[in-house]
Amino acid sequence: MPAFSAKQIAKFIDGTIEGDANTTAECFGQLDHCPDHALSFLIEPKYEQSLYTTNASIVIVSQDFVPKEEVPCTLIRVENPKKTFITLLQFYEDLKPKRLGISKQAIIDKTAVIGQGVYIGAGAVVEEGVEIQDDAKIYPQVYLGSNVTVGENTIIYAGAKIYEGCHIGSNCVIHSGAVIGADGFGFMPDEKGNLIRIPQMGTVILEDDVEIGANTCVDRAMLEATIIRKGSKLDNLVQIAHNCHIGEHTVMAAGCGVAGSVHIGNHCVFGGQVGVKDHVQIGNHVQVAAQSGIHRNVKDKMRLIGSPAMDAKSGMKVFGSIPYLPKLIERVDRMEKEKPTEKPKEA
């Protein structure tokens, strides 16, 4: 990171300086263990104590923050410290040199269409009919199957595999080891009980601004398309089965598994290791706690916890009662033993 003064940073983020305007920051860091000459930020009051001992030279704070002790660094006051800090991180990322050019070690079919400003790394394979639009970045050892489309400004990191016929939108990010468009898990037993593979003839569509984590798999549909809608983000090690539709701006943490033909709405949030049964319909703005198991349809704006998943308010009571069960069982056993034996009625 180039060195920037507090004055330069404050001008860029429209902040107010408190302290030495000429002090500089050369890197980013967390408040409690910053390197020297770092830029950091304070959001939550529970981290305030770290401000008074930090090595950071510049710290971004809220407009209404009142320090309780002497501060050893320059403060820049803004309306929203977290959002501002992210803006600075994005600015720094944009300063990094962009990869350009096509490696001589890449294997590119002559029918492929390559846009302007594209980077293709060594060992990448681009099959017939592929279209890579302007400013896309294809890192080493990526495989793009026949007739794949990659949109503008999309980044596909090393070792990702995109099977034939899949469509990747603009401004997407696909991390290493991800597989887009492998066959859906479709088998049918015959009269002898042998499993017959069902051909998966559909495709996968990732709309614009989608991010796919490392080693995540999105399977192709049997006939139509598995779709990840605009702005959705899938973490590492997520499995999306065939025929699924994931709505816009939905987030899934690592380890989630979504079975076939599930439809999930917009702006949903799934914690890690959530499992969803096949053919379930999930509404918009649904929040699901980690390790929950969803086995039936879910209405809009529900908050779920547990396996099988239940309403979060009821679920917290259920799980909160679990530590008391051993004593409750002992009490019931004792009551049963102390219960007087009833004498048989005389005839």
pLDDT in tens, 300-340: 999 999 999 999 888 888 888 888 888 888 888 888 888 76
CATH number at residue 37: 3.40.1390.10
Which amino acid makes up residue 244? C
In Å, what is the CA distance from 42 to each residue of 35, 36, 71, 90, 144?
Answer: 16, 17, 12, 18, 43
Using CA atoms of 193, 197, 202, 204 in order, give the dihedral in degrees to the nearest 10. Answer: 100
Cβ atoms of residues 78 and 13 within 8 Å: yes
pLDDT of 334 reads: 87
The answer to whether residue 117 sits within a structural domain is yes
Same domain membership, residue 121 and residue 82: no
The answer to whether residue 336 sits within a structural domain is no
Domain count, the chain: 2
Same domain membership, residue 171 and residue 42: no
The answer to whether residue 339 sits within a structural domain is no
Strand pairing category for 74-78 and 16-18 = antiparallel
- Where is the domain boundary, 95, 129, 159? 95
Same domain membership, residue 77 and residue 180: no
Q: Select the more confidently predicted residue: 331 or 109.
A: 109
Cβ atoms of residues 34 and 55 within 8 Å: yes
The answer to whether residue 116 sits within a structural domain is yes
pLDDT of 248-297, one tens digit each? 999 999 999 999 999 999 999 999 999 999 999 999 999 999 999 999 99
Entry pTM: 0.86
Same domain membership, residue 147 and residue 9: no
Q: Select the more confidently predicted residue: 131 or 88.
A: 131
Range of the domain at 190: 102-314
pLDDT of 28-74, one tens digit each? 988 988 888 899 999 888 889 999 999 999 999 999 999 999 999 99
Percent of the chain residues past pLDDT 90, beyond the cut: 78
The answer to whether residue 30 sits within a structural domain is yes
Same domain membership, residue 257 and residue 293: yes
Give me 225's structure tokens: 């398309």
Same domain membership, residue 112 and residue 76: no
Same domain membership, residue 130 and residue 70: no
pLDDT of 248 reads: 98
User: Residue 219: which pLDDT band, with cuts at 50, 70 and 90?
Assistant: very high
Rounded Cα distance, 199 and 222, in Å: 7
- Where is the domain boundary, 48, 73, 95? 95
Same domain membership, residue 233 and residue 162: yes
Same domain membership, residue 195 and residue 66: no
Which amino acid makes up residue 101? G
Q: Mean pLDDT over all residues of the chain?
A: 93
CATH number at residue 209: 2.160.10.10
Query: Sign of the CA dihedral 299, 304, 309, 315?
Result: negative
Give me 19's structure tokens: 């302290």
Same domain membership, residue 295 and residue 147: yes
The answer to whether residue 322 sits within a structural domain is no
Same domain membership, residue 195 and residue 120: yes
Same domain membership, residue 119 and residue 91: no
The answer to whether residue 249 sits within a structural domain is yes
pLDDT of 346 reads: 65
Q: Which residues are catalytic?
A: 242
